[in-house]
Structure 1
Amino acid sequence: MQVTETLSEGLKRELSFVVPASELASRLDKRLAEMKDKVRINGFRPGKVPAAHLKRLVGKSEMAQIIDTVIGDAIRTTVEERKERPALNPEVKLADTVDGEKLVEGQADLAFSASYELLPTFELKDISGVELERPVAEVSDAEVQEQLDRIAEGNRPFNAKDEGAKAENGDRVTIDFVGRIDGEAFEGGSAEGVDLVLGSGQFIPGFEEQLVGAKAGDEVTVKVTFPAEYPAAHLAGKAAEFAVTVKGVAAPGELALDDEWAKKLGMESLDKVKDAIRDQIRSGYEAATRAKVKRALLDKLDEAYDFALPTKLVDSEFETIWKQATEEMERAGRTFADEETTEEAARADYLKIAARRVRLGLVLSEVGEKNSVQVTDEEVSRALVERARQFPGQEKQVFDYYRSNPMALATLRAPLFEEKVVDFLLGQAKVTDKVVTKEELMKDPEEA
């Protein structure tokens, strides 16, 4: 086999391969000899099929398989000998001079090229001097009480009012309604038996107010305008009329927040309910803290590293980001003009994001490899269990899919590996806690 490097430019490489027809023919003869003793063909005793006859029957199909194997083995062996790390699988192209028919007949040399990009090499930076602030927020008693009150309101008993009694703010009305825009009913605008607490702000602004004073049996026409920022783009900013039938009116009953109330929720006591609420809020804060300090770390890494990237990796990442962004815009019925940008500018921005993701991914991978960061099978199994729980009733199918698909299983392992590498790096950097308010902790970094 003859191998020639035809391109070495930056991270790009291209190799030209020529495998003599004699080598291919030798492989085919060996394979046919192995098959001869096993194959069964009508008219011939086992092991007595003439090689020439067998070659006429399966020679071309077997040669096609041999060619695939030779190409794969040749590329893999050559890349290993060159001590190179391709970023993606090499692209293979048969030489224009190759006659496909003669090739599978074993009468022509196999000539092909393999083009690929290398993973970049770079020196890892010492981050022991990097200073990071980890924003933390304490859970206040007021927040716990606010959440407790919200839960209580959601479980407040209501008692039917006397016949003819009018609905007031705080009352619960049971309604049927049909919404129309320009006289036409619209999708999602109709429902029956809906419970609505007046003044709760559950419905479109202006809707609940128009039901104050209504009685059971009343039919009310509610006129509202959907907010301009309403999530459903086909309704945003449009005027609508709802034909509402009031089926019942109920007044809020007394609610005592005590141990007995807690037991109705399945908790031992009111203090246990408060503890559970506090833990839930704290868990949310810890997740936000983790996200903020991780982003700060990645920003520092992004500033510290600048090296050439494999264009195909960046392009692949960009396509993923772009598809997600444009699909979200389409679902929301928005345009680039609505986002105060243009498609060209948006593409440029997302390309920068793609490059950042690829660069940081390579850095984190290198850090993990050089420092022997490992994800255990047990950790992957736990992640798989959590994934399966997201599909109630289909757990077995989920388990079977991931266990039979190494690439899919890798998508569970990758984020675990990333988080472990982040933990390792945070352990190397100088991280100090900074107490912040809930609002500061939860603020979108882009708003800052």
Structure 2
Amino acid sequence: MKRKILITAMCLMVTLSAAGCGASGGKNTVQETSQETSSDTSVISSGSDGAEAALSASSSSESLTDQILAAPVRDGDFKIADAITLGNYKKLNLTKEIQTVTDHDITSYIESQMTPEEVTDKNAAAALGDTVDIAYEGKIDGKAFDGGSSDSYDLTLGSGSFIEGFEDGVVGMKKGETKDLKLRFPDNYYSSDLAGKDVVFTVTVNAIKRIPELTDDWVKDYTNNSISDVADYRESVRKSLTQQEEEKAESELQGEAWNQVQQASVYHFLPKEYVKNGEESFEANIKSEAEKYGLSLDEYIEQSGIDQDTYSKQKEQSGRYAAASKLLLGALVKAEKLSENSPAYQKELQKAADLYGVSTDDLISKNGKDNVYNYVMTNVVLDRIIGHARVKEKKVSSAEKTDQDLTGDYNG
């Protein structure tokens, strides 16, 4: 499995608001909105991995955010040393937290790969984890509303896809059973027409689907006979998930390393060219996301629940963060006396090309020279920073990591 590329420093993007990220032309209004991430088919991705998360607005401290947003923007030639004072990047104290893979994690992954099968027992009741084919109609004050009904919809119970109380209300229902669910849309629901309103959903269960039993025969079929029994398949899944957790921990370590250096640095001004490039990258990402839903940029912004002024401010902020990131990269490159001719750069460039089975020339041709340079050089300087640091490894369980994520104590 190919590892997702960590970061393109020039393609940083401050995402739309949480409500905006969940908007789409095809989403049913009864569903809760959720932040969606886009996948980039290019080799050099502008996705939100660990280091990029550390560079984004949501990961910056209030003081750093204020500094970047308040820094003057200057046009014309400049020296990096005049624009930024590089903070301490040597002898950082870092912790690499690696999530241990449990039997529960393995089972959950395997079940995610299995296709639910319809339950034939007419007395079977829907349970959490089941996928139910339901018909439903929602009414407010006795009147149906747009997007609040469907003749057939597959809903996984416990997924949290629908508003609070909906899925719990379906639990225990049998095939053919009809039930009224008296609920309330959240006050902060993305649709102002529905927010805070009482609603009655009349729900009928058309079918109940359940994950089949894990057997040797299923394993043989799923793996095209490359694995013959359940025990060996579970072990292969354990190894794969363990590798993923190692890679994730490394990505988060890089993000924290970058974050600490950025926190310690001082920005005196931002180059206008850098800001403009960042704004253009932001808009290109938003346009690409809009195209996935068959929408124009203006339509996507409107359905995201924000106005043009808010969008413009977010684009400007994104440009500023991109400029700050590029300045920091430039300062680190200078401090470490690196260049495209440096052995470390050439080694990392070849590594990136090998990962995707292309030549270095093809890598640059497909992704652009600047994007490749920023990706490769960012990885090089991160390796240097971590090489200078004191790194402590810590094993954590999935439960501990979830708690840290929820409390905001975990950087990643």
Report the TM-score range of the alignment, normalised by the length of the smaller protein. 0.5 to 0.7
**Residue matched to 1:247:** 206
Distance 1:298 1:211 in 2: 46
Instruction: Pick one of 356, 361, 364 that aligns with 2:329.
Output: 361
Instruction: Pick one of 185, 196, 199 that aligns with 2:145.
Output: 185
SS in 1 for 2:135: strand
TM-score, normalised with respect to structure 2:
0.54
Equivalent residue runs for 1:86-235 within 5 Å: 116-121=76-81, 130-147=91-108, 150-151=111-112, 154-155=114-115, 157-162=117-122, 165=123, 167-169=125-127, 173-181=132-140, 183-187=143-147, 189-196=148-155, 203-211=162-170, 216-228=175-187
Contact 2:270 2:323 in 1 (8 A): no
Tell me the amino acid that sits aligned with residue 328 of structure 2: L
SS in 2 for 1:116: coil
**Residue matched to 1:421:** 381
**How far is the alpha carbon of 1:224 from its aligned partner?**
2.8
**How far is the alpha carbon of 1:138 from its aligned partner?**
4.5
Distance 2:76 2:274 in 1: 14
SS in 1 for 2:119: strand
SS in 2 for 1:160: coil
Label 1:142 to 1:419 Cα distance change in 2 as closer, same or farther (>3 A): same
Distance 2:187 2:263 in 1: 39
Contact 1:309 1:359 in 2 (8 A): no
**Residue matched to 1:374:** 345
Instruction: Pick one of 250, 271, 296 that aligns with 1:311.
Output: 271
**Residue matched to 1:333:** 305
Contact 1:233 1:334 in 2 (8 A): no
**Residue matched to 1:88:** none
Contact 1:298 1:360 in 2 (8 A): no
Distance 2:406 2:137 in 1: 41
**How far is the alpha carbon of 1:423 from its aligned partner?**
1.3
**Residue matched to 2:241:** 281
Distance 1:258 1:362 in 2: 55
Structure 2 unaligned spans of 5+: 1-74, 287-297
**How far is the alpha carbon of 1:218 from its aligned partner?**
4.9
**How far is the alpha carbon of 1:426 from its aligned partner?**
2.0
Contact 1:133 1:434 in 2 (8 A): no
Distance 1:223 1:265 in 2: 42
1:275-304 deviation digits (Å, cap 9, x = unpaired): 343234334433442233223322443355
Structure 1 unaligned spans of 5+: 1-114, 336-341, 387-398
Which structure would you say has the larger Rg?
Answer: 1
**Residue matched to 1:46:** none
TM-score, normalised with respect to structure 1:
0.51
Contact 2:92 2:388 in 1 (8 A): no
**How far is the alpha carbon of 1:415 from its aligned partner?**
1.3
**How far is the alpha carbon of 1:130 from its aligned partner?**
0.8
**How far is the alpha carbon of 1:447 from its aligned partner?**
2.2
**How far is the alpha carbon of 1:206 from its aligned partner?**
2.3
Distance 1:303 1:192 in 2: 53
Tell me the amino acid that sits aligned with residue 207 of structure 1: F
Equivalent residue runs for 1:21-36 within 5 Å: none
**How far is the alpha carbon of 1:350 from its aligned partner?**
7.2
**How far is the alpha carbon of 1:333 from its aligned partner?**
3.2
Percent of aligned positions that are identical: 21
Label 1:413 to 1:439 Cα distance change in 2 as closer, same or farther (>3 A): farther
**Residue matched to 1:265:** 222
Distance 1:206 1:241 in 2: 11
CA RMSD of aligned residues (A): 5.0
Distance 2:270 2:157 in 1: 59
Distance 2:356 2:370 in 1: 11
Tell me the amino acid that sits aligned with residue 271 of structure 2: T
**How far is the alpha carbon of 1:438 from its aligned partner?**
4.0
